[in-house]
Amino acid sequence: MIKFENINKVFTQKKNTVNALQNINLEIETGDIFGIIGFSGAGKSTLLRTINALEKPTSGRVIVDGDDIYSLNAKELRAKRKTIGMIFQQFNLLETKTVYENVALPLKLKHTPKKEIEEKVNKILEFVELEDKKDVYPSKLSGGQKQRIGIARALATEPSILLSDEATSALDPKTTDSILALLKKINRELNITIVIVTHEMNVISSICNHVAVMEDGRIVEQGNVIDIFSEPQEEITKNFVKTVIQDEVPELLMKSVYEDKRNYKLLRLKFLSSDSTESVIAQVNKKFDIETNILFANISEIQERILGIHIVQIVGSDKEIARAEQYFTLHGVGYKELDGEEELLREVG
Ligand SMILES: Nc1ncnc2c1ncn2[C@@H]1O[C@H](COP(=O)(O)OP(=O)(O)O)[C@@H](O)[C@H]1O
Ligand SMILES: [Mg+2]
């Protein structure tokens, strides 16, 4: 487990002071893929770098698997750092060394016997699917291949934690997906805890289990990824969620709702399922004396589950609408009444 306790970080440059981290308290479970999201300057990298002592907090403690990082002596810290790998947006490969030499470097620094280095490096290169690039120099590689080498190098010392600082931010969407899939494989097959810093919400929805949202050096919201995506609380979180789950009720539909003189309710429905996509809405239509108009529907795959967000107008008597609501509850569909135009606009705008 990685535990941040009351972390503060102040940068002072001449007349300028920046409160880069303010009173951060956070726990990252072993085995997790934990995302930290925020805009540029939020303090994400600074926080990440406190884990492997690249950035010493002004106050507070960082505990990594039981060790208080900043009370270790130099020798203990060197040993600890070998259990923490790191990858970067700009890959940070040595251009004058081959792929093999780049990956072998951390093992060489550890004085690993040559034969053992050879075995390990070959195995890792196979794992990242670049064994055929062994003798190539980084300048001959694509961005995605470079990042695979960065990852291979980070894995060389067999870490238990992998830190990723915007590792996919310089890559195109397709390459991003393949790197994210590799990170997931690393988490699952090698049991490595991964902490991912990003400004892209699709990175979070693709592979993270938990997420913390940072703004101005603070964590403003955190939780399970599914919960955050289905019920974001803070304005900034809502905006990040919108970059993945686009929600917009067409003007024309809204207008027809406002002009509807019948008895109706506007509901925001949320459902989660891992298998069935059968629409509960179709069922309530059949079972009760109501009419439902779907104003907005979104289905996203998050953490290998389906998260559905629908906004519906249910027309009918209060009694029949109440029965439909009961049916939603019974079938695990969360609902919230949207009251009037203003709320609907806020919900979808
Ligand atoms: N070495 C440094 N010296 C001075 N200010 C810094 C330094 N590193 C980061 N900062 C400042 O701290 C804040 C947080 O930076 P950073 O952690 O890099 O944010 P993020 O990774 O979220 O973009 C920013 O205002 C940044 O300018
Ligand atoms: Mg950064």
What is the CATH number for 77? Answer: 3.40.50.300
Minimum CA distance residue for ligand 1 atom 7: 11
Ligand 1 lined by 31 (C-beta under 6 Å): no
111, amino acid identity: H
Return d(Cα 242, Cα 235) in angstroms, integer. Answer: 11
Per-position pLDDT tens, the chain of length 349: 999 999 999 999 888 999 999 999 999 999 999 999 999 999 999 999 999 999 999 999 999 999 999 999 999 999 999 999 999 999 999 999 999 999 999 999 989 999 999 999 999 999 999 999 999 999 999 999 999 999 999 999 999 999 999 999 999 999 999 999 999 999 999 999 999 999 999 999 999 999 999 999 999 999 999 999 988 999 999 999 988 886 667 777 778 888 889 999 999 888 887 544 457 888 899 999 999 988 888 888 888 788 888 889 999 999 999 999 999 998 888 888 886 555 555 555 4
Ligand 1 lined by 37 (C-beta under 6 Å): no
Ligand 1 lined by 10 (C-beta under 6 Å): no
Q: What is the pLDDT of residue 276?
A: 47
- Judge contact between 69 and 233, C-beta under 8 A: no
Same domain, yes or no: 101 and 218: yes
Minimum CA distance residue for ligand 1 atom 4: 11
- DSSP assignments along 27-61, one per residue: EE-TT-EEEEE--TTSSHHHHHHTTTTSS--SEEE
Return d(Cα 231, Cα 44) in angstroms, integer. Answer: 23
281, amino acid identity: I
Same domain, yes or no: 258 and 331: yes
Minimum CA distance residue for ligand 1 atom 6: 11
Q: Which of 18, 48, 49 to mutate to test the pocket of ligand 1 (most atoms within 8 A of CB)?
A: 18
Ligand 1 lined by 41 (C-beta under 6 Å): yes
The first and second tokens of residue 238, run together, are 């809502």
Same domain, yes or no: 100 and 200: yes
Same domain, yes or no: 178 and 45: yes
Return d(Cα 216, Cα 40) in angstroms, integer. Answer: 10
Where among 242, 262, 282 does a domain terminate?
A: 242
Return d(Cα 31, Cα 160) in angstroms, integer. Answer: 9
Domain of residue 156, residue span: 2-242
pTM: 0.87
Where among 186, 216, 242 does a domain terminate?
A: 242
Q: What is the pLDDT of residue 346?
A: 55
CATH value at residue 263:
3.30.70.260
Return d(Cα 195, Cα 35) in angstroms, integer. Answer: 6
Backbone angles phi, psi at 22, to 5 degrees: -130, 110
Helices (H) and strands (E) in the chain, counts: 13, 14
Return d(Cα 152, Cα 138) in angstroms, integer. Answer: 13
Same domain, yes or no: 112 and 46: yes
- Judge contact between 60 and 6, C-beta under 8 A: yes
Same domain, yes or no: 268 and 225: no
93 CA to centre of own chain = 25
Ligand 1 lined by 89 (C-beta under 6 Å): no
